[in-house]
Each structure stands twice: as C-alpha cells, then as structure tokens.
Structure 1
Amino acid sequence: MVDALGHTDVVIIGAGPSGAVTAHTLASKGFSVTCLEQGDWISPADYPGNRPEYELLLQQKWSWNPNTRGRPADYPMNLDAAEVTPIMIAGVGGSSVFYGAHWMRLPPSDFRVRTLDGVADDWPIDYYDLEPFYNRVDEFLGVAGLGGDPAYPPQDYRMPPHPLGKGGMLMAAGLNKLGWHWWPGTNAIPTNKFRNMEKCVRWGVCETGCPAGAKASFDLGYWPHARAAGARLITGARVREITTDPQGRADAVIWIDRDGREHVQKASVVVMAANGVGTPRLLLMSKSARFPEGLGNSSGLVGRNLMLHPNNEVLGLYDEDIESWKGPAGQLLYSLQFYETDRSRGFLRGSKVNLMPVPGILRILEHFDHLPFGKRWGSAIHDIGKYAGRALSLAGNIEDLPEEHNRVTLDPVLTDSDGIPAPRIEYRISENTQRNLDFTLDRMAEMHEAAGAAHILRQPLWKDAPGHLLGTARMGDDPERSVVDRFGRSHDVPNLFIVDGSVMVTSGGLNPTATIAALALRCAEHIAETARFQEVAA
C-alpha cells in the first residue's frame, strides 16, 4: 500500500548534524520542513556509559559497527574490499550521539591542497567563505575552547575550555619539553549548563553516548530548536528512492515504515543528509531513464573519492595515578605540530594528534591482545589492571586524500531488512596515507616518552574508522569533476541538495563535524535565498 503524505516545501533525508542544522535554519525562516530518519530517538538514560558493564555492552548492542550492532534501523555493509570499517549509527542526531565532540575547523590550507601540494583538488570555497558559518554554529552549540591557537586564524568561543586534568598537564609538559605545538581541546561539550544541555560531569564516556545529556549531540544541540520552529521529524522512515518529474526535478521521496508500508512524501526541494555512505547509496538507487547511472551522477563521481580518516593510537601507561578516567573524551588537548605538509617526511599532508582519557580497563586490555592467553587473564590481569586510572591515549587523525577507486557502490546480493540494496565499500589505504600513519605513530610514542610513560603500547591502525565518511558527492565548479556546486546544489537536479560530509573535496586531518555543520548552515541559507529562482535542469 502506498500512502501519500501531501506536500512539504523541503524534505530532508537524515536527522544527523547536517540534517538538524538544515531543518532548524529553514523552519526558522518559515518553510515547511519534513525530515525522514530511519532510526529513532535514543534516550540518554539508555546509553551504556553509566553502567558498570558498559565496555561489554559496546561489544554487541552498542557497538560502533552497524554490522555487529544489527539494530532494526541499521543497514548492513559489504566490507570484503575494505581495509577499514566505516562506523555509524542511525537515529536522531546521527553518529553525533557517539562522537567525541572534538570540534575542529579545517585550517585555510585544507581548502587549497592542489595549489599548495599539487595533489587532490582545491575546494571551490575557502576558509573565509565558511568562517562566519563556523562562528554561528559554535555560538549556537556553546562550544568550549580557548581562542588564540597560532595554527588558526583568530577565533574565540562562548564557553571556556575544559580542564586539562592531571593527564593533560602531564602530556602538556612532555610536549613543552619537545618544543611541539599543543592547545587545550576544543569540544562541542559545554563546560556549564547551556540551553537544554547539562554541565559536563567528566565521566569520559562521550564516545558511547553521554548519559548526563551534557554533550552537543544534535538530538540535543539542534533538534529541539528545529522542532520548536515547526520542523516535522518522522522516525523509523527508511527512504528507498528519490523520484523526479518529466523536467528532471526531484519531486518526491518514497520511504518505508517499520511495518513495511510504503509512503510518498512530495516536496519542492530534496536535501540529502544521510552521510558519506548513505547519501551515495540512495542516489545510486534512484535510477530512471533520465538518470540511468543514478540521480545526480552525470560525472560518474557519486560514491567515489571515499575518505575515511584511518586512525592509529599509542597508549601510554604511567606509574602515578593521573585520574585518566576523567573526561571529556572529547580531547583534553591536541597537537597540530605535524599537520601541514613537510616533504622531507616522505609524504604529503599530515595529521592531528589528540589526547584522550581511558576510562575502562578493557580498553587497556585490547593493547595486550598479542600476548598469550595466560598473560592476559587470570592472575595476570591484576598486573595489567593496576594501570586503571593511569593510561592515556594519543590518537592520530590521519589526512586521507581522495582517490576514485575508494568508493561506495550497491551490492548485487546483500540487502537491508526491506530488501533495499546494501552498500559495498571499496577502500584501500594508499602508500601516502600509510607513510603518514607510520610517521604519526612514531611521533606519538615520542610524546609519551617525553611525558614519562612507564610503558608505551602501539596500535598501528584502528580497524574501525572514526566515523568520518567523506567525499562521495564532492563539491566543485566543474560539473564533470564534481557532483554539487559550491552551495551543495546538484549540477544535474536544481532542487536537489547535499549537505553532509559527502560534499567535502578533501578530508583534512581533523574531525569534520564542525565543517559539516557550517557547510549545512551555508547551504540552507542559500536554499532560502534562492527558493524563488530555482530553474529547471537543462
């Protein structure tokens, strides 16, 4: 049965950060907005972080990997050709419910990689085009940080930074000894009660959902305000297809509810906000006689140039109690010492290194997986367990350059529970990225050594990527080399917009949510400003 839901000015697919910002912006300007989200609301009371067994819950029910988690809202992924695993969660707020809320802007150089380093492509916009939108989102969320970082143009924050804590002070002293850059962490975690968010209680479990409701995940940071402005949010709504009219404009989306019923939502504008895997998946599924290779895919680039930010880690174990369970996690501090290109290192671009607390003992035990069973369990666990509260994690966020062979396609066999083709992920770590990983790993070990770590444990690669799903519908001025224009509008379909991380031309070496939110705000305001003048595709 097909149920037609009437007409809305704007339909948004996905209720994560970019969808939330877009919904709030357009609803506040008087547009009728309907957002379709395949997941549900998740109550902070349900998060595992306030339970003693929370690390065990992360192994299945609350795993970051949707293939492991297998919730009704999730779709599976074929990862046979992927060297790292994309992670995400469906639900109101999207993967921000699990993010660490590291709130970093791309520096100006990230928008000019082709000009500066001769690789990838320059963005069609620069840092200063995006700066006012960065500022406005920061202000709206109550971002906590310290202005004056010499690695950036001038910026400031509504909230003061979080305390460095004993672990942060220890690492800061080590970095000072090395003469390397560091700065207090910038986090979308208010240091005081702000709007409907509580004050951070420093439990250090940010990346498993904040039980205190003290993190600016977008279910808290934006959606209450979007709904108050009049945006309609429908959960349990899995979109199957975007349809087009005879003139080639998007005119509706077809979605399936949890009972298997099919619905049609007609709209004047369609906005994709389904992340760098979900957005190309849906565009590739939306084929027609006019768009035989998928909607908006005349360039052949939908799904290509997937960037995942492979990460690595060095864990330091310290003899003194440094209360390393205290958050935010979130970053206590970060270093951009090795962020910009230095060709003498043997690779291009660089990485951000951030210091994070280690609140759980199983996190420490993971680093001893190479030991025989008898040296990890039984009485031996007490030797390892003495480092609870004495472990610090340095994580390297590695810049991932775009490569067309890294891509999202539709799997010919695997489907979700509604029979919709699942995405197949093809991703290989390039030689340049591998050299960056190796170099950053060595530098993080040096940082721990300078800080006085008793034991240093290396993790050369996190198999689970950090949930940064970027580049698969890139922006650009040339329709043959990009999918959308500088405002996120499809080159092929004038009333189809993409606002998630798919549009990013390069990944930078930083957590991307601040950039995604700023781009969504810029795009949403462009939609409002040009609503009367959207022309039919040629």
Structure 2
Amino acid sequence: MARAPLFLASGRGDTNGLRPAKCDIPGSRLYSAAALTLSFAGRAVRERPNRPVSGEGEDKVAMKDPVDVLIIGAGASGAAVAWSLAETKMHVLCLEQGGWMNPAEYPSTGRDWEAKFYGEWSSSPNVRGRPEDYPINDDNSPIKVVNYNAVGGSTVMYTAHWPRLHPSDFKVKTLDGVADDWPIDYDALTPFFEENDRMMGTSGLSGDPLSPLTHPPMPQQPMGLSGAIIGKAMNKLGWHWWPSDTTVATTDYEGRARCINLGHCTPACAQGAKSSTDITYWPHAIRAGVELRTRCRVREITTDENGMASGVVYYDKDGVEQFQPAHVVIIACNGVGTPRLLLNSASGRFPNGLANSSGLVGKNLMFHPYAQIYGYVKEATDSNRAPPTCLWSKEWYDTDLSRGFVRGYGVQFVRGAGPVFEAVVSEQKGILPWGEDHHRVFRKLNGHRLGFSAICEDLPEEHNRVTLDPVLKDSHGIPAPKIDYTISENSRKMMEHALARGREFLETAGASDICVNSPIPWGGWHLLGTARMGTDPARSVVNEWGRTHDVKNLFIVDGSIFVTSGGVNPTSTIQALALYIADQMKQRLANLFD
C-alpha cells in the first residue's frame, strides 16, 4: 500500500487548507553573572562591550586585543554557533573570507539568470574565480566540489531542501556492521533541530511516516503542477512519498515575505524568501554583539608553547597580513576548507597539521554521489520556478540486503530546468534535433521535465581525502585543496538500483525521452567527514562535543565532523550540530579546557 498524503486522493496538486503542527520552542537559556565571570584557563572572560561591528570599509578595531571566541567562516554552522554563543556576552569575533551579498545583483533579478548562474554566479569556485574564492584541484574525482564564499556561505546558493539525518544514521556500525557509530545519537540533537528550524524558518507537513518527526513553523510548499503527476505515479507503484521540508517561506515569517515564485531558487533568492544565514542568524547575532569582519582570509591557526591555539594569521580586505589572538578558536569552513586550514597550520609541534595526531585530517571525505534520471511528460510542469525539490521519498533509505548493497538513499523529485539549460543539455543528449523540427520538439521538452534524483549514502573510506596541492595556490599564496575521490562499489550498486527505480517511476508517470545523469559531475554540494567525531583520539579528530583531541581550545562545527553521511542533504544536521556544540561549550565554561 502506498504511504502518501491522503489529500492527493482528490487529484489536486495543491495542499490548500493543510497546516503543520505548531512548534513550541523553549526560550534560550539565560546565563548567570557568575557563569560569565568564569575563566578560560585563568584568563577572565570579558563581557562584550557595546561598540560598532567592524567590516568592509571600516577601520580595524583593536586588532591586537585577544577575543574570547574567534570563529572562522560565516556560513551555515559559523552563523549558528555565533548566534548561540552571543548570549554569553563574551567577545565573539567571526572572520569571513567573502563579503555581504547584494540581493539586487542576484541572477533571479534578470531574464539572463541562467547565463549568470553558469558563469559569475556558478556554484563552482573554479568557474566563478572571484577574489574570495579559492581554487580546488578536483581532477582526480568524478564529482566536483561546489561551494560559496560569502556571509551566509553556501546557504546563499543551496536548494533549501531540509531533511534531517535519521536516527539509524547515527548507529551504522551497530545496525549494519559498516563504518562507525557516532558518539552521540539523534535524541541528543532533537532540541537543536527544533531550534534551528525556528531560526531558519522551515515549511513542511508534519507526520511523514518514514522520516524523523518535525514541527515546521510554516505550511508546506505547494506541490505545483508536477506534484500531482509524481504523487499519482508513486501511489500506483506503492512507494512512499511526502512533501519535503524546505527553508522557503510559505507565509510572512520573521520579517520576510512569503515566496512569490520569483525564479529559480538555487542561484540566490533576491526576494529573501529562501532562508540563508545572512538574513536569518546573522542579523540576530550581530544585534547580540557578535563582531563580523568580512574579506578576511585565514591562512593558519597559531599555537603557543603549551600547544593551545593562540589565534590566527589572516589577510584583511586590503591583502595585508594580520594576527588576531584568541582564547578559543572555532572552525566552520566545510569539509574541504577545514582540513585545508588544519593541514596548512602545521608547525614544529604539529608537523602533520594541527589536530592531526590521528592522521585522519582530510581523510574519509564523503560527497553523496547523485544518481539522476529524468524524462518528459505531456503535461506542463513547474520548470524553473519555485523551490526545485518539494517532494521526497524515503522508500529505499535503510538497509535491505536483498538489494545487493548496505545502507540506502533518499530521493528528491526535481521540478525542471530553465530554457537555456534545457536547450543545451537536450541537444547534447541527442533528443533535440536541429532543422525544421527544432522548435516543435523544444516546446515539448521545455517546461515538461520530470526528474528523480537519488542521494546515495557515501560510506567513509580513508583513500577519499583532501590534501594540500603542491602547486596550485589561491590569490594570497595559500596552497589550494586537492581532492582524491573514487565512488565505492557499494555506492555504484546503490546508484544502479536507484536508476532502475527511477526509470520505473518515470515510465509509470508517462514520461518519454528518458535520460541519465549519473553521477552528477557538479554534485559535490555535501562536503563531509574529513575531521570526524569520536571518543578515541586515535580514530577521530574531535570528541563527542566538537573539541579537537589534540588542542583543547580548538573546536570544529561544520560537516567535516560527520562520522557517516546518511542519504539526505546535511545542512539541517550541520546546523543542529553547531548549536549542540555551542550549548556544550556554554555548559562547560568553568572547565572548557579540562
């Protein structure tokens, strides 16, 4: 029997009148004055004074004064941890190599959005080549790294798809005898998932039988013209589907207007309906006293004679080398940027890179290979407007050994593509002819695409890694990251299984001209595992609350600390982890370095 929302029985593609359960989030903890006067290894924690935040175009403020907490990276996790720590009234400083983005310049403001999206607004730093980007040598990988460097990080350019890791993802070794279990479980993160959903502003429909229970504060996205087609086909096959949680506003929320389907969501949202951390967490963090310096690229983390992190060396917006001392350093640079920074922070005391006594910094890189298959239906679909992935399926998420592989994959149903992309790709695939039939065939293709994309769980393997390139450097002379990555046999079997299920789905939906794109070459959105979490210092880089085993005042809060990858987009879990680690730090202020 199909496990699907009952409202599709009417055949309607919308979900008018349905609302998710309300989410009551308890207020943030209040910290007593006594807690705020506790010391970091004998150094008093200073209450953060009220003063202007320094940034682009402003004079440097007290560059040589040590800050209590220094965060590197202002993206998904950096923003969350900064906001959470702000309530301690410590001096929290964040350094971000990019700048504030101007929504008036986003691709969706013009009809040439596709030209910009595949050029200066590409999700690939190697294509963009902006001053704030760093090059990545990913020649030895079938999957290319994509990211964004700015206040908000890659949340500026993500699809706003918002699943969580499942409880089973935290105990893969116990359940399936592969990889390792996490040192924490899903329940430890539950209150932080809820808090993060409130801060980011999620929309969705509570009650999915195959996903963790969520309580989105806004109703789900309309499923659009493609939703009814997808749901009917999945029901006919007896396969699970559900409206996905997203971070796109469906009602006015926290000062942001609801989505009006201005354009394609991925290349930044000019309207501000899509929740990126530059418009969610950062305004709150800055009002609470966090200092954010932009256009500041960190070269290395320095250590003192006791092996503690003492600060960072960075290049300011003018390219001038600066040193910023700090009592605590937090890295939030993603699964490629974080190992790059740790490896480049090698010293006499740490010859193999900072916090790398295990030798695992940069190893166990996980990407999530995407298996995509799509076709074209007679009915019009939403094409390139509105959130690209509004439905998901968890039918094949957990292990079933009869399939020939362990673990599983989540499925996103993709709306479509823009007309320029459709024309170029369809010609390459051989389904769009030149000549007198060109326009007729194009009209049948454009706005009629239906896609099935499987996010295949990527198990950790040490040969998949990030190292420092011996030749390639960024604009400041810092070694670029080098990626070595191969898709495992288990993942290949998983992808083949997904493509077969996708073909069944498309044929059931009445699609023709079915095409395969597997793996998606520019699909390295999820950068995980390169500084993994664990209780054994010989087999992990950070402990169960994000502190590095080797350097007691150095923390990591981004996707590099993932032990396993699951089969879903990781941003929700990354931010919940960052909030969890910040909470652990606040509870341990008296003995943070013990």
* Same fold at TM > 0.5: yes
Match of 2:536 among 465, 471, 478: 478
Question: Residue 211 of structure 2 contacts residue 394 of structure 2 at CA under 8 Å; is this kept in 1?
Answer: no
Partners of 2:400 and 2:572 lie apart in 1 by: 26
What residue number does 2:419 align with? 361
What residue number does 2:202 align with? 143
Cα shift at 1:413: 0.8
Structure 2, unaligned stretches of length 5 or more? 1-59
Partners of 1:143 and 1:478 lie apart in 2 by: 36
Partners of 1:134 and 1:374 lie apart in 2 by: 45
Amino acid at match of 1:282: L
2:400 corresponds to 1:342: yes
Partners of 1:425 and 1:154 lie apart in 2 by: 36
Question: Residue 357 of structure 1 contacts residue 393 of structure 1 at CA under 8 Å; is this kept in 2?
Answer: yes
Per the alignment, do residues 28 and 360 of structure 1 end up closer, same or farther by CA in structure 2, a change over 3 Å counting? same
Partners of 2:221 and 2:332 lie apart in 1 by: 31
Cα shift at 1:455: 3.1
Partners of 1:436 and 1:339 lie apart in 2 by: 11
What residue number does 2:526 align with? 468
Cα shift at 1:454: 3.4
Amino acid at match of 1:271: I
2:125 corresponds to 1:66: yes
Cα shift at 1:56: 1.5
Question: Residue 167 of structure 1 contacts residue 323 of structure 1 at CA under 8 Å; is this kept in 2?
Answer: yes
What residue number does 1:38 align with? 97
What residue number does 1:243 align with? 302
Match of 2:572 among 501, 514, 520: 514
Partners of 2:445 and 2:262 lie apart in 1 by: 18
Cα shift at 1:347: 1.0
Structure 1, unaligned stretches of length 5 or more? none
> For structure 1, which segment, 359-368 or 156-165, has the greater mean C-alpha deviation from structure 2 after superposition?
359-368
Question: Residue 311 of structure 1 contacts residue 466 of structure 1 at CA under 8 Å; is this kept in 2?
Answer: no
Cα shift at 1:373: 11
2:378 corresponds to 1:324: no
Match of 1:96 among 155, 172, 185: 155
SS of equivalent residue, structure 1 residue 172:
helix
Partners of 2:64 and 2:434 lie apart in 1 by: 57
1:380-411 Cα shifts (integer Å, max 9, x gaps): 25412433222222211111110000000001
What residue number does 1:123 align with? 182
Partners of 1:517 and 1:26 lie apart in 2 by: 14
Match of 1:169 among 228, 231, 234: 228
Cα shift at 1:161: 0.5
Question: Residue 197 of structure 1 contacts residue 216 of structure 1 at CA under 8 Å; is this kept in 2?
Answer: no
1:56-84 Cα shifts (integer Å, max 9, x gaps): 11222111111111000000011221121
Q: Where does structure 1 differ by over 6 angstroms across 4 or more consecutive aligned residues?
A: none
The aligned length equals 534
> For structure 1, which segment, 349-358 or 6-15, has the greater mean C-alpha deviation from structure 2 after superposition?
349-358
Cα shift at 1:374: 8.3
What residue number does 1:265 align with? 324
> For structure 1, which segment, 513-522 or 527-536, has the greater mean C-alpha deviation from structure 2 after superposition?
527-536
2:550 corresponds to 1:492: yes
Question: Residue 107 of structure 1 contacts residue 127 of structure 1 at CA under 8 Å; is this kept in 2?
Answer: yes
User: What is the 5 A alignment of 1:50-449?
Assistant: 50-329=109-388, 331-371=389-429, 375=433, 380-449=438-507
Partners of 1:33 and 1:102 lie apart in 2 by: 30
Cα shift at 1:204: 4.8
Partners of 1:390 and 1:371 lie apart in 2 by: 16
Partners of 1:277 and 1:189 lie apart in 2 by: 27
Per the alignment, do residues 378 and 73 of structure 1 end up closer, same or farther by CA in structure 2, a change over 3 Å counting? farther
Question: Residue 196 of structure 1 contacts residue 220 of structure 1 at CA under 8 Å; is this kept in 2?
Answer: no
Question: Residue 172 of structure 1 contacts residue 182 of structure 1 at CA under 8 Å; is this kept in 2?
Answer: yes
2:516 corresponds to 1:458: yes
Cα shift at 1:376: 5.2
Q: TM-score, with normalisation over the residues of structure 1?
A: 0.96
SS of equivalent residue, structure 2 residue 65:
strand
Cα shift at 1:170: 1.0
SS of equivalent residue, structure 1 residue 106:
coil
Amino acid at match of 2:538: E
The Cα RMSD (Å) is 1.7
Instruction: Tell which structure's C-alpha radius of gyration is larger.
Output: 2
Question: Residue 18 of structure 1 contacts residue 273 of structure 1 at CA under 8 Å; is this kept in 2?
Answer: yes
Cα shift at 1:104: 0.7
